[in-house]
Structure 1
Amino acid sequence: MNLRSHPLQTLAIILALSWTLSTGAPTAMAIETQKATFAGGCFWCMEHPFEKLDGVISVISGYIGGHKENPTYKEVSAGSTGHAEAVEITYDPTKVTYEELLEVFWRQVDPTDGGGQFVDRGSQYRTGIFYHTDSQKKTATLSKAALENRMLFGKPVVTEITRAGTFYPAEEYHQDYYKNNPIRYKYYRSRSGRDQFLDQHWTDDGKAIKNSAWTDEELRQKLTPLQYKVTRENGTERPFENEYWDNKKEGIYVDIISGAPLFSSTDKFKSGTGWPSFVRTIPDAGIDEVEDNSFFMKRVEVRSADSDSHLGHLFTDGPPPTGLRYCINSASLRFIPKEELKKEGYEAYLKLFE
């Protein structure tokens, strides 16, 4: 059609295009979506947490990680194909990031259980992160390490991170099961043990509930010999030869065992003693002060309430405004830089640096 000879049609096209741009109506421009694949036990329970996220386009239940082509639910649930029940998520990375999807994933599962998930047992119900790109692999590895370092569960994190292979969508009646069969879904979920576990470890707004129930043997494997000696045997590291005595970066210091926030770099000062020194603790820090009469001295020992770990000692020769000096062993702490607080679940403490 010659638009010059049809001014009314030309005007109509221009108006239509203007309406499309002003209202955000779909255009021919395609969204560059990405995929994320997670296994977290029964896939019925893994759809809703992701579907409600802004930026998630679709969540499909299915099977991944096995050796048989086009497996059926009956075959997978019998544990004979090597597959895991999983969800494949298609998302818009401009609205929701892979890091945010990982945060949601960790809050749906028991990542310390290598034999299944809750009432469902067998490798077909294992947890797993199936990465699609090298960038996802790196991000998932860092996320797992951060979770492991926080020691929230009292056990090692065993969730495997592997390259995504062929994903087979499950039968239609499994898709959106929680929507299409709400009564049966609620009955199953309430008896599966999943919610009971999640309630023990996460608050309603997604914050971690600290758990320091590590056995002595597990702590010996998890901690370095020096960290174990300091925290469990009330040891003292060498001055000027420890990790944080001269650390000048912004961030917070948390309990090496429980991950409980204890001190902030905003309260750290150079005491000249060769150990990290602070004028105060983080507000509401779980600190116990215990009278210590060892070595023929009268001192105040500082312990972490969460893990009952020895941290150091408290003295009254510090600078203003408190006049206190919390003299702490680096080996009892883990430092989290300011720029990593959100990623590691300590976003609330960013206000300390405003």
Structure 2
Amino acid sequence: MIVGGGIGGLAAALGIARAGHEVMVLERNDRFAELGAGIQLAPNGIAALDRLGLGAMVRERAVHIDHLRFMDGVTGEHVVSMPLTEDYRRRFGNPYVVVHRGELHRMLYAACLASPGVRLRAGAAVTAYDQDDTGTTVVLKTGERISGDAVIGADGIRSAIRRQLVGDGEPRVSGITVYRCLIPIDVVPDELRWNAVTWWAGPKCHFVHYAIAGGRYLNLAASSDDAATQPVAGVPVEKQLVQILFAGLDAAPRQLLALGEDWKAWVLVDRDPVDNWTDGRVTLLGDAAHPMLHYAAQGACQALEDAVLLGDLLDCSTAELVRRFDRYSHERRERTAAVQRVSRESIELWHPAGTEAKARNDMLSSMSATQLHDHVAWMHGARYFGGALLTGGASG
């Protein structure tokens, strides 16, 4: 039983069904859908989707990015770009792409519908679990109990399964508010239509944009280090507020921000890494296991890696489930904790001012393409094959 029907939960369902198990996915909402806009997929995420049989479809529908482009948001200076074309793709075995989050979710959902080993049930909010030596039971909000061999909690950062298994309370509030919207690419000036994920870094703020939905829309995400203390998600805000908050940026990013309509705000949250997220026949996946800020653009990729490794490890009898879950947690915890930490620490790269910003620019602009690729190789180049993790190297 997989609790949660988001990207990670559906991917895990595919991987585990391919290993020969019957899987039921329990989604708390009335329908299976994914909120949000753009999602970045590095080569490690594409490699995981290949293992699930969806890599070719994602490559066909996604926008293939040519550069990660870092700009000084105050001066408008182009600081450095990491090329993502020939050398990058050859080294890591796949492109770097962006796709609409809902589109990726629909691909996974359709694959699950087509899989004879996967059953999907919406409107099934899980509140707790029980287990013994022979199996597990989840308890729904309605009081209904559903039994099976094992439980995977893929129910997000406020996971009910994690609350019982780890018991670490509410998520950590980052103190950063991000404002998001989509604009039609037709309204974007030609000189700003870069085939890049672009960061404009400013004092205690930064602004990211990239094309999604086959290049039809530009995804805008502007982050403000405003010491927010209360988490909010998807709250509508006036466009004038966004323009005021980022008025200190250069003319080009302000021009793009001014085009935005229907802005919504999220206060970012995450959690500290934990040493173990497995309890007997129960384990966690994705944001339920290792929620991270989005600044390393690895949240979905790490959930997909979880799903593929679980599918590999669960090619076993039910008698082996407990041991395989322990192995899964052991193999994933160090890597995912490192990505969680990098996601937090990257704020120090985006948000300095004055002499610290100049020192950052000098450091980044001195790096060659190979050095930049070396810097991300441990994340972008990690791939799973048959349960073995291979990193770096020419083959990825």
TM-score scaled by structure 1? 0.20
More helix by share: 2
Higher relative contact order (CA 8 A, sep 6+): 2
Q: TM-score, normalised by structure 2?
A: 0.19
Bigger Rg over Cα? 1
